[in-house]
Copies of this chain bind each other. A is one copy, B any other.
Amino acid sequence: MPVTLGQLAELIGGVVHGDASCIISGIATLQNARSGDITFLSNPRYSRYLSDTSASAVILMEEQRAVCPVHALVVSDPYLAYARVAAHLAPRLPAQQGCHPSAVVSDAASVDGTAWIGPQCVIEDGATVGPRVVVGPHCVIGRDCKIAADSRLVASVTLVHGTVIGQRALIHPGVVIGSDGFGLANDDGRWVKVPQLGAVRIGDDVEIGANTTIDRGALDDTVIGNGVKLDNQIQVAHNVQIGEHTAVAGCTGIAGSARIGARCTIGGGVGVVGHTEIADDVHITGMSFVAHSIREPGVYSSGTPLEPNREWRRNYARFHHLDGMARRLRAVENLLKQQPSK
**Chain B proximity mask over A15-36: 1 for CB below 8 Å, otherwise 0:** 0000000000001110110000
Number of interface residues of A (CB under 8 A): 131
Check A195–B87 contact: CB distance below 8 A: yes
**Are A306 and B312 touching (Cβ within 8 A)?**
no
Q: Are A288 and B306 in contact (CB under 8 A)?
A: yes
A104 touches B102 (CB 8 A): yes
Which of these, B197, B209, B305, contacts A319 with CB under 8 Å?
A: B305
- In the complex, the answer to whether B271 meets A251 with C-beta atoms within 8 Å is yes
Which of the candidate stretches A65-73, A107-115, A168-176 sits at the interface with the other chain? Answer: A168-176
Supposing A84-B192, A211-B213 touch, asked if A336 and B333 sit within 8 A by C-beta, the answer is: no
* Residue from the list B231, B298, B312 in contact with A309, Cβ < 8 A: B298
The contact of A333 among B84, B156, B233, B328, by CB within 8 Å, is B328
A1 within 8 A of partner (CB): no
From 286 to 342 in chain A, residues with beta carbon under 8 angstroms from any chain B beta carbon are: 286-292, 294, 298-323, 325-326, 328-329, 332-333, 335-336, 338-340, 342
Answer whether residue A7 sits at the interface, using C-beta atoms and an 8 A cutoff.
Answer: no
- Given A158-B174, A304-B303: A27 in contact with B197 (beta carbons within 8 A): yes
User: Taking the nearest CB of chain B, how far is it from the CB of A48, in angstroms?
Assistant: 14
Closest chain B residue to A37 by CB distance?
B219
Docked CA distance A333–B309 (Å): 29
Q: Which of B194, B211, B339 contacts A174 (CB 8 A)?
A: B211
> What are 22 A-B pairs at a CB distance below 8 A?
A79-B194, A80-B187, A80-B192, A119-B122, A120-B122, A154-B160, A173-B176, A180-B209, A191-B229, A231-B235, A253-B268, A255-B268, A286-B291, A289-B303, A289-B306, A298-B309, A302-B307, A305-B317, A311-B320, A311-B323, A315-B321, A318-B322
Q: Which 7 A-B pairs have the closest CB atoms?
A: A314-B323, A179-B210, A299-B309, A251-B253, A80-B185, A83-B185, A158-B173
